[in-house]
Amino acid sequence: MLESPSQAILSIRGLHKAYGGNTVLKGVDLDVHRGELVFVIGPSGSGKSSLLRCCNVLEPVTAGSILFDGEDITAPRVNLNAVRQKIGMVFQHFNLYPHMTALENVMLALRKVQKLPRPEAERRAREALAQVNMLDRATFYPDQLSGGQQQRVGIARSIALRPRIVLFDEPTSALDPELVGSVLEAMRGLKATGMTMIVVSHEMGFARAAADRVVFMDGGVILEQGTPQEIFEQPRHERTRAFLSSVTTRH
């Protein structure tokens, strides 16, 4: 299928998510276009992470639809294992496989899901590690790596599968401040390759510098969205202003 650059890769419509009686997403609509970096901000409990985790159906959605490349991935008979190879995810706590080296972490899905022969899988894994500047640590185990290094391996693990989009769930929140930079640099590098990204994070400086669009969520809905300039300099909503001032006065 031919598509114009402006066509949405991911198109979320009327998304609801409830955990038992607790509704955390109350009708979210969002389009993410090819090559775009969409930055999602909002107070804790606003539903940002739930939104992200619905995007690869790690959480089953309660209502609404998510079109990925035109296919509704919330439909019951969708092959999620196939879909998830095209939607990478990077986790707050890295979630590296502790019994495998960095290289093996990146290779596992290449071998077992994409069924690549070992030399080809290793070549692709090394390529991905090089992209996040971690090739020199390929044989290290996760507990021999710093948090920032682990997170970059986490990024390599997801991009080695050559996804169409990568979801970042608070990728730097568990890191010591001095380690944040290397991860953001890897993300900037990924953006430069034209990767489509959705980032849930509190790194406002990074949002200003790298985001194409900033989305502010509160109470399970998108309250407003716009360019970083619009959101950070002329927020229309009182709650956006209150949130931004609370995070900027923290420093």
Partner 1 sequence: MNTQGLIFSFFNPDVIGKYYPFILSGMWVTVQVGAAVVATGLALGFLLAYARACGLRPANFLIVAFADVLRSLPPLVGIILLFFAFPYIGISMSAFTATWLALSLVLAAFAEEIFWAGLQATPKGLMEAGRSTGMGWGQTMWYVVWPHALKLTIPPLTNRVIAIVKNTALGAVVGLAEVVNNAQSATSSAGSATPLTLCALGSLAIFLPVVLAGRYIEKRFR
Gyration radius from the chain CA atoms: 18
- Interface residue with partner 1 among 96, 103, 129, 180 (CB under 8 A) is 96
Contact pattern from residue 143 through residue 182 relative to partner 1, giving x for each residue in contact according to CB under 8 A and a dash for the rest: -----------x--xx--x---------------------
- The reply to whether 198 sits near partner 1 by the rule CB under 8 A is no
- The reply to whether 108 sits near partner 1 by the rule CB under 8 A is yes
In whole angstroms, give the CA distance from residue 161 to residue 127.
Answer: 11
CB contact at 8 A, 132 and 189: yes
Q: Which residues pair with 32 in a beta bridge?
A: 10
Q: How many residues bind partner 1 (CB under 8 A)?
A: 26
Query: Which residue number, 200 or 207, has a Cβ lying nearer to partner 1?
Result: 200
- Interface residue with partner 1 among 14, 113, 130, 205 (CB under 8 A) is 113
Q: Which of residues 20-59 bind partner 1 (CB under 8 A)?
A: 56, 58
Element (H, E) at 159: helix 147-159
What is the edge-to-edge ordering of all strands in the sheet holding 71-72? 22-33, 8-19, 63-68, 71-72
Query: Which residue number, 46 or 150, has a Cβ lying nearer to partner 1?
Result: 150
- The reply to whether 118 sits near partner 1 by the rule CB under 8 A is no
In whole angstroms, give the CA distance from residue 114 to residue 121.
Answer: 9
Query: Which residue number, 11 or 92, has a Cβ lying nearer to partner 1?
Result: 92
CB contact at 8 A, 129 and 138: yes
Query: Which residue number, 34 or 162, has a Cβ lying nearer to partner 1?
Result: 162
CB contact at 8 A, 171 and 144: no
DSSP calls for 101-154: -HHHHHHHHHHHTS---HHHHHHHHHHHHHHTT-GGGTT--GGGS-HHHHHHHH
Q: Which of residues 63-92 bind partner 1 (CB under 8 A)?
A: 81-85, 87-89, 91
Query: Which residue number, 43 or 141, has a Cβ lying nearer to partner 1?
Result: 141
Chain residues that interact with partner 1, rule: CB under 8 A: 56, 58, 81-85, 87-89, 91, 93, 95-99, 108-109, 112-114, 154, 157-158, 161
